[in-house]
Structure 1
């Protein structure tokens, strides 16, 4: 039997502990005093030696005092008092208090073992000290009922405490899970907003970079070319600011309310890319109305592909082909040739590849497929397939 206690129980008592210990001491002492008093009309107790009577009273007083240390040594004190109660009747009150405390603070198997020992001690006590006029069996059963009731009360208190601790632990666990779910939802919202900002502003800023680079590396450009590039830079910067205001204006709104393009905006996107310098060939070979989610994903695919083409292969001719239909799905293919600077892979350059990673996540969420990589002639190809229900 484990008879150890936690450090707070071993060294420090709370105000509640002091009150409970004092009540236990007084109740056990009162039980002993009640057993030593003979009321009028009661049958006289059997004669006992005076020395035994004094010893019985001293043992009862010592048992009551020992209850103050029952938190430190619950098993030892309970077993000792049970054994003493077999010979000294007045210590029975202290024994019941120790048995109750043991059943509250120790596992049920320990409390039930000491309870069984107390039944045996009661049998010995009733045999040694029979009550005049009271049947032997009645006295034994009465003592057993008292001891069983006290032990059952202690076990029920322990069960309620364990249930309370379990409910409190579940509440803490549920609160932790709720906080983690909220943090996960916030993380997903931040990723969605970051993806939208990347998609919306990346296209505009890449146009600014291309035309600003043209002005820097062509100081001999004609005034008409300079004016045209300056106009594109001004318009792109203005549109980028407008897009940024729209995104910032809805940062606290649900992600579904962020500004979203449609398939109808795809032609304008390709036209803007064509103004940047190299020609962009646009082929549409689909019939029917493209679902809103599918069209939005296709727009983002083309937008990211054109942005990467301007960044990694400026001057190369690019082709955009969109085909498909209901039941067959929507196919999007963007290719750029080897002209201009060679196409870069997604892992080259600072910050490169993030757009393609985000694009792969977007296509995966749409239950589609995305493939990209260099072509055999030194160019670059990006193709995607998106579901289109019939």
Structure 2
């Protein structure tokens, strides 16, 4: 609100300065015309005020030289809202009074803010007095030609400057639109990244929760210790899922990334956290074998995060589609050769695929394929006989 008031005040001050400058220029043009130097054709002179038609008023010269330019220039206060009428009035008045500076300012406003057709129409109106002035001269003189040429140049300069300003405004608007479009693209990419994170994290948490709840439902003879352990895992998984969801929703409520101003990314999982991820799945009864070297800390961060998400998604799919089957995870690689990740698990026989299946949208591995391709790797997945395999090759520069 304060900025709006400040903008209005600045606009009023600018309008007052424009009126004063126009009046001063108009007075100067009038003085020059009285000495035989005209910059715009005057087709006639304004009538002289008299008292009773006999005695000239002492203020007549003051009216012609000062009050008329000031009154004409005062019309410029309305040039923004009524640019065309103000320009027409000033152009007509400029043929009998020294108001061409005010008329040129009004014509500039039209060129800067109105369509081209309107601008060219008013420019034609401004140029009409030029040939009429030549025709009205008893003989063609250098002074008459100079007046016509000067008037044409002033009209062209006023239009050209207006067109230039309009182009600058359009370029600024286009730049703002492009900036808004780029910002929206950034937001869209962030939403897509958050959607992938939500799928990767929440799907895994909820699959663990569902597996434990299903085990409690099926195993009616579970001991109190087993029930307490499963309930603890369910509570922990639900709590972690809620925390992950709140974090994602908190980011979605902000226009940009939370740490975009500082350029710092939120904490992301790495291969060092892979044992913890595997241990959570083992608690559900899944048998998992991890075959990985100990010197994976030199793998680039983007490849580490992608590898972690691939393993996480593979374990989630194993929970959904191959419960009770063993999973083998194998990591190999070296600087300059890349990081190879291989996750395999047997598929249960069709006769054993009974009971309710966990829902899945089928977009997890597809999104990971896109993510892997973005960092310069590749990912393949699918069934090979009775085995499901997920294989990825990720960059590991020398």
Q: Does 1:265 align with 2:273?
A: yes
Taking the TM superposition and a 5 Å limit, the aligned residue runs for 1:123-142 are 129=138, 139-142=140-143
Does residue 254 of structure 1 match 2:259?
Answer: yes
SS at match of 1:32: coil
Question: Where do 5+ consecutive residues of structure 2 fail to align?
Answer: 1-17, 34-39, 49-83, 112-117
C-alpha separation in 1, matches of 2:339 and 2:352: 26
Is the partner of 1:380 in helix, strand or coil?
A: strand
Question: Structure 2 matches for 1:70-109, cutoff 5 A?
Answer: 107=120
Tell me the TM-score normalised to structure 1 length: 0.63
Question: Hey, what does 1:326 align to over in structure 2?
Answer: 335
**Residues 169 and 328 of structure 1: is their aligned pair in 2 closer, same or farther, counting only changes over 3 Å?**
same
Give the whole-Å Cα distance in 2 for the aligned partners of 1:194 and 1:201. 10
Could you say which structure has the larger radius of gyration?
1
CA distance in 2, matches of 1:291, 1:111: 69
Aligned to 2:214: 213
Paired position in structure 1 for 2:176: 175
List aligned pairs for 1:352-363, cutoff 5 A: 352-363=361-372
CA deviations on 1:217-251 (whole Å, 9 max, x unpaired) are 33244555434433432343344455556667777
Q: In structure 1, the residue corresponding to 2:397 is in which secondary structure?
A: coil
Aligned CA distance change for structure 1 residues 249 and 144 (closer, same or farther; 3 Å): closer
Residue 263 and residue 212 in structure 1: after superposition, are their counterparts in 2 closer, same or farther (change >3 A)? same
Query: Kindly tell me: are residues 201 and 30 of structure 1, through their superposed partners in 2, closer, same or farther at Cα, counting changes over 3 Å?
Result: closer
What's 1:281 paired with? 289
In structure 2, distance between residues paired with 1:308 and 1:342: 19
Structure 2 Cα separation of the partners of residues 29 and 232 of structure 1: 94
Question: 1:234 and 1:102 mapped to 2: Cα distance?
Answer: 75
- Aligned to 2:292, what secondary structure does the other structure show? strand
**Cα gap change, 1:341/1:281 in structure 2, threshold over 3 Å: closer, same or farther?**
farther
Aligned twin of 1:200: 201
What's 1:32 paired with?
44
**Other-structure match for 1:306:** 315
1:188 maps to 189
The answer to whether the 8 Å contact 1:323/1:332 transfers is yes
Which deviations, in whole Å up to 9, do the C-alpha atoms of 1:252-294 show, x marking residues without a partner? 6327442311211112212221221231121115755322322
- Aligned equivalent of 1:336, options 324, 328, 345: 345
Q: Would the aligned equivalents of 1:373 and 1:381 in 2 still touch at CA under 8 Å?
A: yes
SS in 2 for 1:372: strand
Secondary structure of the 1:261 match is coil
Work out which of the residue numbers 382, 386, 391 in structure 2 matches 1:383: 391
Q: For the Cα contact (< 8 Å) 2:41–2:151, is it kept in 1?
A: no
1:79-127 deviation per Cα after TM superposition (whole angstroms, max 9, x unaligned): xx9xxxxxxxxxx869x98x9899986549x859x789929x83x655x
Once the two structures are TM-superposed, the CA of residue 207 in structure 1 deviates from its matched residue by 0.8
Distance in 2 (CA, whole Å) between partners of 1:343 and 1:187 is 42
| Cα distance in 1 between the residues matched to 2:352 and 2:160 | 71
Alpha-carbon distance in 1 for matches of 2:360, 2:187: 24
Q: Over aligned residue pairs, what C-alpha RMSD do you find?
A: 4.5
TM-score normalised to the size of structure 2? Answer: 0.62
Q: Secondary structure of 2:44's partner? A: helix
Q: 1:151 to 1:342 in 2, by over 3 A?
A: farther
Residue 213 of structure 1 and its aligned partner are, at CA, apart by 0.9
Mapped to 2, the partners of 1:275 and 1:341 lie a distance apart of 25
Pairwise CA distance, 1:35: 12
| Structure 1 position 368 matched with structure 2 position 381 | no
Q: Give CA deviations for 1:27-51 in whole Å, capped at 9, x if unaligned.
A: 9997524899xxxxxxxxxxxxxxx
Q: How far apart in 2 are the matches of 1:355 and 1:187?
A: 18
Instruction: Sort the Cα spacing of 1:266 and 1:382 in 2 relative to 1 into closer, same or farther, 3 A.
Output: same
* Count of aligned residue pairs for this structure pair: 301
Relative to structure 1, is the Cα distance of residues 226 and 341 closer, same or farther in structure 2, using a 3 angstrom cutoff?
A: farther
Q: 5+ residue gaps in structure 1?
A: 1-15, 37-70, 82-91, 130-135
